[in-house]
Structure 1
């Protein structure tokens, strides 16, 4: 039999050997030890390891075994505590024979190291065993800190080596979830020391009974909490996740997918002709159809480890972690065929003579700005499937018929956006003119790039309103001659946040939010407001950053001299890969040079036309 040597297995072996060696060298049978108390302590650990205290909301458990080990250290010292550990471990290994022997050994070694190190930390600063003493407060604290720090380190390293956890995320999560537990354990260990002072067995028995009753009470409390939470997170009709909980899960899954660079897809689907079905058979029969469809959807999704929810009405949604668009498309087509082939009462009255749905799929990318953007894309693709005749699965690509229609509807908002922008005329003529020039650059540059219709329209509209947040910046800061002081600069930087707030009031313009809020982010991560870097900045915001900066460099500003086109081009190249995404620099420069060589005066005329 070949032994596979992985970093995790080598680590397990090393810790097991070290723990056994330390235990072997340090264990001594204490003279005049009270064996009844030793066995009683071991028995309490066995019982309380089985009856743990469940803590909402995630069901983390608080075991009292560490309280007993620490109390034993404080009362009886190292040798008696190691003896208690040995008795417990032998009995537990016999009871739990199905657990692999190396897991028992590793667990025993970890506890040995924790007990030994916490004991020596205790006596290092003159802690003394016996009844509880105020003089021992600092040794108590140092001992428990050592105990749990070692616990986090020894267990955490194993999970990191197994590559099941990111090291930073693991320690962040464990510290967040266990800090209160660790403090409770310290308090309980001191409570046990106090209870055992007059009579060891009586105090230990009382502590064990209290812990047992607490375990039962917290279990009931946790089950009630879980039941209420599930009701709050579930759709009452289908039993699937509801819309609110779906979005909460999606936020977490999108964050995890970006951090771990894993694919993720989202699906929105709509049952075709459901209104007609309701009209034919009534809402009660319609509810039955929704329930049956939801059950089929859940069974198929569970088999693939996907997360399904009722999005609203006859719409449903699926989160597909670790799934690329090709796999998602294949899964949804198989599901569509399965639904077509499954008979539901009354579906023969529908146009296709069977139950069908239309669905849209959107894949999360590193530059995806928000969950809303992702859902919006899936929604667009779903409506494209509807417009193409229904009973279809559509991948979002930005070129769909619905996307074009939606872009045209966005174009209708241009007049409204420009009207809002004209407010600048009464406050800052420069910003208004600058925005109009950036808008014209965006029109021309978007023709050169391989952008979808939707992306082109969004870039153009975003260019027009990208600085609208400067409405909220005081006039004396906007028009100040010379450099801004640090306080004024911090205030000026808030214009992106103000702009986001203004745009957010119009739902039809929500696609423009990333451009308004993020056009001052830098490719190297040194921009604002969030310090995003690389492709975590949405593509259109990276494009707008190039256009905006070029115009800012080549036009007169209160606090900056104008650069020539050649000087600005040199600056773009110098900052390529730093401030700007390199893939857009040379195409933009090529466009500018084309204007120069062709004698195009269009951009110069833009500013003049505004004044008139």
Structure 2
């Protein structure tokens, strides 16, 4: 699909560019003097030389050459037809130089893009009163506008290519290109004016001087980029293992999540931890322990060398594998093969390990669209790793894959642990304690109604139970105030979602509950807090928790609002559906409440 779009876009550009070329050069070719052809040939050679000396710009490494200064100077002195003939000759030479390395369609596309830029710049130059010949300060606006349209068209034509072919965000693409290339383009445009002066007054000598200056500038940029890459490489690499370091991993994870969200492609993250590393370190010393870390790093580099997997040293004996294009199943299989390879590897002292061989435990987490922050995906992989360790080590566990019995036991224990923490509300705010228990019971029923998988059920119900834990940080006087809260007090109350999230993140067992705590006051219309997420930017179960939380708040006595009956609360839910609440989930919850009330009425009769 990408290739088809690129060919279509290139075909359209080629038609436009070739059409403009023929229209502009047809009357000129037959009437060009021998002197004119001599200049065309000389300028073509200069353009080829500057194209060969293409350099890269930090930080992205986008390629840029100074050949545009040749074409612009041709426009200012000789006119568009001559500039287009210079483009034609230089393109033919480059076609032979790059034969077999660059596809023909790319040469044609490049030629067409330059034709459009040259023709448009020449038109603007004439339209603003520019005259071919020496550089005239009285016509400065014409030079500036011609150079501006040349630059803008280059930016737009390349930007649209990335937008159409790769579905990149057009604004972001153009912004990045502009940021990366603006100084180099300004340099090119100024050089075109310098060349105009040199050509008119010094002829071929001026062209030679200009080429010497341009080649030196290109070489300097090459050296600068090489130095930048060397410094970047050192900054992004772990010195001991040669793998990417933690900082690079964080940046790469954020970028890959952005790409997955934009394109819908799969992405997985694996975390690896050497089993019983402390025992080996204590027995053989830190020097041998470092050798073991390097040994595993070399294995990871070797086994992932033919893939696009990004391997990093996360810290100590932990490693991360960022796996674009791998879903959780294929990622697990890949890591499982790595584990077996390590088990079968010979390394001095491996007999002291409980497994009798080198081993690691690993956790795998697949990216989901409702994961907004990179820390969430890391937490998921970390929890899967924790579970793998808990199950006896030397195994790979996928986040959310537990046996039914283990889930039930863990869930019951988690409920007891959270309730112990909520008991602190007994002395501070008994109503918050009761509210949390009621919301938990609602969530249990709704999880059955939604037929949630076991992992989602655990997260949803425990998230409902702990969602107001951050209110423990709110002063007693504000929590129990009978009158309406002041704006300052209300702002403090709103902080409970952030405080609660931070409290959950202190315990590895409850990290995955953080979104329910933090996002249960977001609104469907984007007017909630703390982030103002809108619609499906809010995880589906967090949207449901918002409905349950609000319904219970409306139907129980609160010091700062009147209590509503179930019927009145249902009317309020429907009135706020589409603004505060998800309309579909609102109707589902209302159906559940009405059915429950009907069952209660029948039982009473």
TM range (shorter): 0.7 to 0.9
Aligned to 2:201, what secondary structure does the other structure show?
Answer: coil
Paired residue for 2:241?
A: 238
**Runs of 5+ in structure 2 lacking a partner?**
none
Q: Say yes or no: does 1:462 pair with 2:463.
A: no
CA distance in 2, matches of 1:421, 1:231: 55
Please give the alpha-carbon distance, in whole angstroms, between the structure 1 residues aligned to 2:481 and 2:140.
Answer: 59
The alpha carbon displacement at 1:469 in A equals 7.3
Could you tell me which residue of structure 1 aligns to residue 515 of structure 2?
Answer: 514
Aligned residue among 436, 441, 450 for 1:439: 436
CA distance in structure 2 between the partners assigned to 1:332 and 1:542 by the alignment: 35
> RMSD in angstroms over aligned alpha carbons?
3.7
- Name the residue aligned to 2:592: 590
| CA displacement, residues 88-146 of structure 1 (integer Å, 9 cap, x when unaligned) | 12222232222333332332222112111110011112122222233323222321232
> Is 2:54–2:64's contact at 8 Å kept on the other side of the alignment?
yes
TM-score when normalising by structure 2: 0.84
User: Which whole-Å CA distance do the structure 2 matches of 1:210 and 1:470 have between them?
Assistant: 70
After the TM superposition, which of the residue ranges 21-30 and 337-346 deviates more from structure 2? 21-30
Question: How far apart are residue 82 of structure 1 and its match?
Answer: 1.7
After TM superposition, give the deviation of residue 444 of structure 1 in Å.
Answer: 0.9
Judge which range, 283-292 or 306-315, deviates more: 283-292
Aligned to 2:17: 19
Task: Name the SS for the 1:311 alignment partner.
Answer: strand
Report the Cα offset of residue 323 of structure 1. 1.4
Q: 1:55 to 1:19 in 2, by over 3 A?
A: closer
Distance 1:455 1:120, change over 3 A: same
1:349 and 2:352 matched: yes
Could you tell me which residue of structure 2 aligns to residue 570 of structure 1? 571
1:434 is displaced (CA, Å) by 6.7
Query: What is the aligned partner in structure 1 of residue 317 from structure 2?
Result: 314
- CA, structure 1 residues 415+67, in 2 after alignment: closer, same or farther (shift >3 Å)? farther
CA distance in 1, matches of 2:421, 2:157: 61
8 Å contact from structure 1 (residues 404, 453) kept in 2: no
Contact 2:80-2:122 within 8 A present in 1 as well: yes
Q: How does 1:282-361 map to 2 (within 5 A)?
A: 282-361=285-364
Q: Is the Cα contact below 8 Å between 1:525 and 1:533 reproduced in 2?
A: yes
Match in the other structure for 2:267: 264
Aligned 8 A contact 2:574 2:586 in 1: no
- Distance of 1:163 and 1:104 partners within structure 2: 20
Deviation at 1:163, TM superposition (A): 4.0
- Listed as ranges, the gaps of 5+ residues in structure 1 are 426-431, 482-487, 600-612
Where 1:181 maps in the other structure, the secondary structure is: helix
Task: Look up the SS of the partner of 1:521 in the other structure.
Answer: coil
Instruction: Report the Cα offset of residue 344 of structure 1.
Output: 1.8
Is residue 2:209 matched to residue 1:188?
no
Matched, 1:125 2:123: no
Comparing 132-141 with 120-129, greater Cα deviation is found at 132-141
User: Are positions 1:378 and 2:381 aligned together?
Assistant: yes
Alignment partner of 1:397 out of 397, 400, 412: 400
Q: Give the distance between the partners of 1:438 and 1:588, measured in 2 at CA.
A: 19
Change (3 A) 1:128 1:417: farther
Q: Distance in 2 between matches of 1:359 and 1:88?
A: 56
The aligned length equals 581
Seen in structure 2, the aligned counterparts of structure 1 residues 460 and 348 have a Cα distance that, compared at 3 Å, is same
Q: Which moved more, 1:189-198 or 1:213-222?
A: 189-198
Q: How many Å separate the matches in 2 of 1:5 and 1:358?
A: 40
Cα distance in 1 between the residues matched to 2:317 and 2:261? 30
Determine helix, strand or coil for the equivalent of 1:316: strand
Offset of 1:271 from its aligned partner? 1.0
Task: Give the Cα–Cα distance (whole angstroms) in 1 for the partners of residues 368 and 570 of structure 2.
Answer: 30
Closer, same or farther in 2 for the Cα pair 1:5/1:596, shift >3 Å?
A: closer
- Preserved CA contact (<8 Å) 1:398 1:452: no
Q: Structure 2 vs 1, CA of residues 419 and 378 (structure 1 numbering), >3 Å: closer, same or farther?
A: same
The structure-2 alpha-carbon separation of the partners of 1:513 and 1:397, relative to structure 1 and needing over 3 Å to count, comes to closer
Report the Cα distance in structure 1 between the residues aligned to 2:44 and 2:402, rounded to whole angstroms: 69
Out of 475, 479, 484, which is 1:479 matched to? 484
